């Protein structure tokens, strides 16, 4: 997603009960802040709003032709399962000097500490145990590196680049024969 578009802030999970309530996974620092940035939308641009009723549980109102339609039964709630919730980028506060939104990393040029080109950040993965960057290279398979200060010591959004210091545990293959672990070659 581009830095000027929409940013995913959460996702609707499974139905909760029979009255149209749903479980919500929020990607905001404080989960309740998901509703603080104004109207949410789904991947198709349909507008929704949430009202928290318990921790991680909300009622959903969809807007159809501008009119609010509250989800009131389990069947309708089940149809919303896995609906990604987005907000317009302009609704978010600007990042502090030493912070940035993960979406800002996508498209940045990646170099090693000496300045040699490695590739471009194509995806930021975050499954809850810490983010990782997928780096698309001009030749060879994509690389996935942990997004932490040891592996990514420099992020310069304004310059459009970041520096990756490859950990020793990551072996970067440069050719077809390089996919063999060094110990396996010695054993042959």
Interval 123-160: pLDDT, tens: 999 877 888 999 999 888 999 999 999 999 999 998 99
Dihedral of CA atoms 90, 91, 93, 95 in degrees, nearest 10, equals -50
pLDDT at 129: 81
pLDDT at 85: 96
pLDDT at 98: 77
Q: Is the pTM of this model over 0.75?
A: no
Query: What mean pLDDT do residues 110-122 have?
Result: 95
Average per-residue pLDDT for the chain:
87
Listed by start position, the domains of the chain span 6-91, 102-166
pLDDT(170) > 90: no
- CA 46/CA 53 separation, integer angstroms: 22
CATH topology of domain 102-166: SH3 type barrels. (2.30.30)
Query: What mean pLDDT do residues 73-100 have?
Result: 91
- CA 126/CA 157 separation, integer angstroms: 19
3-state SS assignment for residue 176: helix
Residue 37 phi/psi, 5-degree rounding, is -100, 10
Residue 159 phi/psi, 5-degree rounding, is -85, -10
Architecture of domain 6-91: Beta Barrel (2.40)
Query: What mean pLDDT do residues 11-34 have?
Result: 94
Q: Do 6-91 and 102-166 fold alike per CATH?
A: no
3-state SS assignment for residue 136: strand
pLDDT(168) > 90: no
pLDDT at 3: 41
């Amino acid at each position: 997603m581009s830095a000027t578009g929409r940013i995913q802030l959460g996702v609707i999970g499974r139905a909760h009960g029979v009255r149209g309530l749903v479980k919500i996974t929020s990607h905001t620092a404080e989960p309740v802040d998901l509703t603080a940035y104004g109207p949410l939308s789904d991947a198709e641009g349909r507008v929704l709003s949430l009202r928290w009723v318990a921790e991680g549980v909300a009622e959903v109102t969809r807007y159809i032709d501008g009119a609010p339609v509250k989800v009131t039964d389990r069947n309708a709630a089940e149809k919303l399962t896995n609906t990604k919730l987005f907000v317009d980028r302009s609704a978010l506060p600007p990042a502090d000097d030493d912070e940035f939104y993960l979406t800002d990393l996508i498209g940045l040029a990646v170099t090693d500490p000496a300045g040699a080109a490695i590739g471009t950040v194509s995806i930021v993965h975050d499954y809850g145990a810490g983010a990782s960057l997928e780096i698309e290279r001009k030749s060879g398979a994509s690389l996935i590196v942990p997004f932490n200060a040891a592996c990514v010591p420099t992020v310069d959004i304004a310059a459009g680049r970041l520096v990756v210091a490859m950990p020793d545990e990551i072996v970067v293959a440069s050719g077809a024969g390089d996919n063999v672990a060094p110990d396996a070659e010695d054993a042959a």
